[in-house]
Amino acid sequence: MKSLRAILTPAELPGLRQSDLADRLCVVFDVLRATSTFITALHHGANRIIPVSDIAEALAWREKAPQALLAGERHGVRISADLTGGIEFDLGNSPREFTPEVVCGRTIVSTTTNGTLALNACAGAAVVLAGSFLNLTATADFIRHHPAEEVILVCAGTGSSAALEDVLAAGALAHRLASPSAGFKLADSAAIAWRTFLSGEASVAEALSTTDNGRRLLGIPDLRADVAFCGQFDCYPLVARQTAAGLQRFAPT
């Protein structure tokens, strides 16, 4: 029987990074907003997203690949020239910025506070996916047909703390996967996420607006619409998979 467990806080990421993930499938959730944004960008035709851990790494990519778009946030807002020694990033981390006109065919290099770190912590896994409410069912369908013995739901969190929106999305995926016929054994960590999701299922969009991150974004006029945007279920039916080239839309062969 396959097993399902969850990483609920960023404090668990160093342990995950050091563990043997060779047979594992990891799904990373940073609902507000990194993974929601990357999935939106891929839906709108971005060629690939390269998640990097810090600003210096993003700037090094600008040297290597001058046509790549630089994206990301610090304290929620686009990285500005005063943080980089003079280079303005092209995009922030709002999914609504990643329109087809801006991203179609482009490589995007992104650094965010938690999301890109969580994706990179899973680098040793057999499969790494980016998950969100926006692509929940497509992600569940992919996992159901994948042979990995253990699936790890990785909640990116906020700073060093757990983020409720990530746990809700991990729980929603656990709920999609762990029907009796699907044959998943849930660790306590995955059961916590599942029960959290079931307790707020009727109103995920409303629940997002009460989270620490949701309230922070609602307090920034240009970003407040991101909260409702990221709470939509299944509007982008794609699987976002990390490859050697970066995060890409998975196309079955």
Under rule CB under 6 A, residue 113 binds ligand MLT: yes
Binder among 9, 40, 114, 135 for ligand MLT (CB under 6 A): 114
Least distance from ligand MLT to the Cβ atom of residue 20, Å: 26
Residue whose entry in the numeric block shows the structure tokens 């912590």: 121
Distance CA 24, CA 19 (A): 10
Binder among 2, 4, 10, 30 for ligand MLT (CB under 6 A): 30
Instruction: State the Rg of the chain over Cα.
Output: 17
Task: Kindly report the length of the chain.
Answer: 253
Least distance from ligand MLT to the Cβ atom of residue 146, Å: 26
Least distance from ligand MLT to the Cβ atom of residue 7, Å: 15
Binder among 4, 13, 46, 112 for ligand MLT (CB under 6 A): 112
Least distance from ligand MLT to the Cβ atom of residue 112, Å: 3
Binder among 33, 43, 106, 249 for ligand MLT (CB under 6 A): 33
Give the interface segment with ligand MLT, choosing from 30-38, 97-105, 169-177, 245-253 (CB under 6 A). Answer: 30-38
Least distance from ligand MLT to the Cβ atom of residue 159, Å: 8
Beta bridge partners of 48: 107
Distance CA 89, CA 195 (A): 39
User: Rounded to an integer, what is the distance from CA 174 to the centroid of its chain?
Assistant: 16
Considering only residues 118-157, where is the footprint of ligand MLT by CB under 6 A?
A: none
* CB distance 96 to 226 below 8 Å: yes
| Position closest to ligand MLT via CB | 112
- Strands 240-243 and 127-131 turn out to be antiparallel
Contact partners, residue 49, CB within 8 Å, separation at least 6: 38, 41, 42, 107, 108, 109, 110, 246, 247, 248
Considering only residues 72-91, where is the footprint of ligand MLT by CB under 6 A?
A: 73, 76
CA-wise closest residue to 175 among 143, 129, 149, 211: 143
Could you list the residues that contact ligand MLT (CB under 6 A)? 30, 32-34, 73, 76, 93, 112-115
